[in-house]
Chains A and B, each alone.
Chain A
Amino acid sequence: MGETFEFNRSGKPQTPGAAMAASDVKHWFVREVLPLEAMLMHFLHQNWRNKAEIEDLRQDVYAHVLEAAKTEIPDRPKAFLIATARNLLIDRVRHNQVVPIDAVNDLDELNIALDQPGPERSAIARDVLRRLQAAIDLLPPRAREAVLLRRIEGLSRREIAERMGVTENTVSDHITAGMRALADIYLGEAAELRRTP
């Protein structure tokens, strides 16, 4: 560690290569990035033809964003998220060599004001209950029942199994499928539902 240790007003220590605390990265990711998922999904759907790859693309974008945030948390999450997504799409097109002619739509035509503080955060906080209810309503019936019994009524796996007349493993399957679908609908809204096996 150097002898001179100064702080600037942004609160970031001026140590080169200093790593961000994992809890900071998590807080940032949950508060700033996840609320942008609907926008990200819109971007991916607009610009990528193969819908089967969208979930993988989203995952890749998030992984890259987290990787970058470990070193320094980006100032403008919206701009950063879209830039990351755009680079990934371009990489993927190059990597695939054979470029499907309309794999990538005009990336520049997307009209998103990147630097303005968006209404997403407050809109989400404001509508949490309404949107959660809507998301829950959209779950496949069995997954919905299992999720409600677990999260709302607080029943154990065994109690849910008894009530639904299925094995505990099946309850597990319903709940995990419900969790994933809930996240897709709640954050992304546009995502398709996964039916439980």
Chain B
Amino acid sequence: MTGEQIIFLIVGAVTLICGLLVVTVRNLVHAALWLVATLFGVAILYTLLNASFLAVVQVVVYIGAIAILFIFAVMLTRRQAAETGPSVNTNWWVGALMSVLTFAGLAYLLQTWSGFSKQASSIPSGFDAINQLGEALTSPVGYVLPFEVASVLLLAALVGAVYLAFNKK
């Protein structure tokens, strides 16, 4: 067991447990805070995968914006202070069965793939992921078109969200 494997096991276990808590706790603000813990675990996983820029962007975008948005939305949509009623549907066992079957199906399908137990190749020295990412996102032979379309999508979402949530008195 190398140190990296131990770290991965700990971080992976924490992420999965926090994810489980997100979907099971009754108090929604607690669920949003467990989501923050899960997102942080995913950011650590990105760092383990040598994608450190994505890890920082994950913290900034997901924890700094999306999780805050969730907490705001939970606080603004509570009918009363305490949560009433069950936290899951009446047919929650069907959902649980579906998710277990999905996991089993995915695991089975993946392990029939030949490259399933591939080991990571070492990163060539002098490889600057940020530089390469910047060039990929802005070069015409790269991915500039999806990048610009994503910007337009964000603009549309911005206008739409403001319009939908606007309180026309």
A binds B: no
Interface residues of chain A, those whose CB is within 8 Å of chain B, are: none
